[in-house]
Amino acid sequence: MRANVKEILLRNAAMLFSRSGYNAVSLRDVAKAAGVNVGSLTYHFGSKANLLREIYERHTHPMNARRLELLGEARRISDPDERLMAILRAYVVPAFVSSSDGDGGGAEFTRMRAVLSAEGNPDAQAIIADAFDQTSRTFIEALAECVPGASLESLVWRSQFLLGGLYYALINPERITRLSNGAVDGNDRDAAIEHLVEATYASFRSLSETASVVAAADNTKPSGKRVSE
């Protein structure tokens, strides 16, 4: 019975956080939505921060594990361009295919992530960092291997743009359908994955081209040394 109550609390907390954010939702709000008293909530979790942490752990562990598994396969590809594409797919695909309550994805959890990231609550920020930062750094390192010479600044910014595109594609696919006047199905996950990966591939691939141009320009500059006659 306790396990059932705990699951109900987790589901209702995620729903409320995704709709109203972390700051606006109280433990009493969660308990009311779950149909239990506040004492039951504090018994299972102790605090609102612990409640949020468990929501993140349950959702992100499976997704991060799948991402790292696919990343390991991608890093064994010798061709850097093919490896870059595979690394990006390793990051994107698990977020789309994880769509149930327990496997790391779904629009509700993704919406909650986006809302909480924007709120800036210190507790939530620490939980988000614990859930994703190490995996994100591992992906950035792998991306750097595919685009030699790219600056860390460029890699981190473009990784952030990828995350933003991923968020929006997951939580608001209807906008794609609306802007295309119905010609494009925003809920077509396979198409969303392909377009997001291709666009991000072009973004990261251009870093290698830019680095090559800069290196070539440096090589053509005068050395500043006078040649003896």
Which are the contacts of 45, defined by CB distance < 8 A and separation ≥ 6?
A: 9, 51, 54
Q: How big is the chain, counted in residues?
A: 229
Answer yes or no: are the C-beta atoms of 28 and 37 closer than 8 Å. Answer: no
Q: State residue 181's pLDDT score.
A: 97
Which are the contacts of 2, defined by CB distance < 8 A and separation ≥ 6?
A: 44
Instruction: Please name which of 67, 82, 81, 29 lies closest in space to residue 51, comparing C-alpha atoms.
Output: 29
Q: State residue 220's pLDDT score.
A: 55
How many Å apart are CA 220 and CA 104, to the nearest integer? 51
Q: State residue 101's pLDDT score.
A: 45
Q: State residue 106's pLDDT score.
A: 65
Q: State residue 212's pLDDT score.
A: 54
Q: State residue 221's pLDDT score.
A: 55
Instruction: Please name which of 10, 1, 2 lies closest in space to residue 43, comparing C-alpha atoms.
Output: 2
How many Å apart are CA 217 and CA 126, to the nearest integer? 43
**Segments in the chain below pLDDT 70:** 1-3, 98-106, 210-229
Q: State residue 14's pLDDT score.
A: 92
